[in-house]
Structure 1
Amino acid sequence: MTDMFQPTTLSWLEVTARLAAAVIFPLIVGLERFFHKKPIDFRPFVIISVAACGLLIGSIELLQTTSGDEQARIDPTRVIEGVITGIGFIGAGAMFRQGNYVQGAGSAASIWCAGAIGLVCGMGELWLGAVIALLVLILLLVSRPFTERWDPGNHPAQEQE
């Protein structure tokens, strides 16, 4: 009975480190979106990342425990495909059209990235999750002056209509 509450192939330390990284890295990106009052706050970033990480850890564990069973067909890449596709639909809900401009694309892409961060953390590639989060955060911060300057609400073409 206690075996079902124990990781099979990973240690508790590995699982904890992967899940902690899946919380911290997308939280950093989500907080940037939150502080700038973007369509998606920080909570979905963390929830999506942790869920993606947990699904991948679970599929890796299941793959390892059923590796000797010829009838078992466990493929972690199918989990990755499903997660990425599902998050794409969530991100699409954050986007809307305002005149000739699409709003929310940055938040949509960021939420999709949170899922990717969760997946790579689930794989145990914590360094890669950190690098992805850092690069996205830098992009969001560095691009802010440009996006604010060309905000459709302030765009001269909008005023002429």
Structure 2
Amino acid sequence: MFEFDLDLNLLAYHSFKLGIAFILSLPIALNREMKESGAGLRTFPLVTIASCAFMLVGRSIFEGADAEARVMYGIITGMGFIGGGAIFKSEDGVKGTATAASLWNTAAIGISVAYSRYEIAIILSVISFLIFQFSEPFKSKDKL
């Protein structure tokens, strides 16, 4: 027989966590969207909330640090794979490395939020935004 059990407290808890992950991804996403990067306002929040959700589910289903670590390793590896797809090599050089790194970074934000390590998530969000916002004048002109 089909049983549907919805814990409203758990729904609120997970909504709160995913909401924080979403909000912390927005500065990076907005910056990348404004700079017309390949990934932007849709990609970064999706990466962050998905990473947070995978960790939340993993923490609630699996017991023990080893099992949770495997979920985290899966996220880290998967983000490396996705980030690798964002990197393009041409005769002019390599592009997309910052996008790849920032995708990995937003996954780390999501994982940090899932573990209630908000201080890490906030620092990652702020530093990433600052790097993207203020580093462009320091890039060599032939790479722009």
On whether the aligned pair clears a TM of 0.5, the verdict is: yes
* Matching residue of 1:156: none
Q: Cα 1:151–1:34, aligned 2, differ >3 Å: closer, same or farther?
A: farther
TM-score of the pair, normalised by structure 1: 0.78
- 1:74 to partner: Cα distance: 6.8
**Residue 6 (structure 1) aligned with residue 11 (structure 2):** no
> For structure 1, which segment, 138-147 or 82-91, has the greater mean C-alpha deviation from structure 2 after superposition?
138-147
TM-score of the pair, normalised by structure 2: 0.86
**Residue 152 (structure 1) aligned with residue 143 (structure 2):** yes
- 1:6 to partner: Cα distance: 2.3
**Residue 104 (structure 1) aligned with residue 96 (structure 2):** yes
Q: Cα 1:50–1:145, aligned 2, differ >3 Å: closer, same or farther?
A: same
**Percent identical:** 26
**Residue 43 (structure 1) aligned with residue 42 (structure 2):** yes
Which structure's CA Rg is the greater one? Answer: 1
Give the partner amino acid of 2:121: G
**Once superposed, what is the RMSD of the aligned Cα atoms?**
2.2
**C-alpha contact 1:18 1:126 (8 A) present in aligned 2:** no
* Matching residue of 2:87: 95
Q: Could you list the runs of 5+ residues in structure 1 that have no partner in the other structure? A: 68-72, 154-161
Give the partner amino acid of 2:71: V
**Residue 130 (structure 1) aligned with residue 130 (structure 2):** no
* Matching residue of 1:113: 105
* Matching residue of 1:83: 75
Aligned residues: 142
1:61-76 alignment to 2 at 5 Å? 61-63=60-62, 75-76=67-68
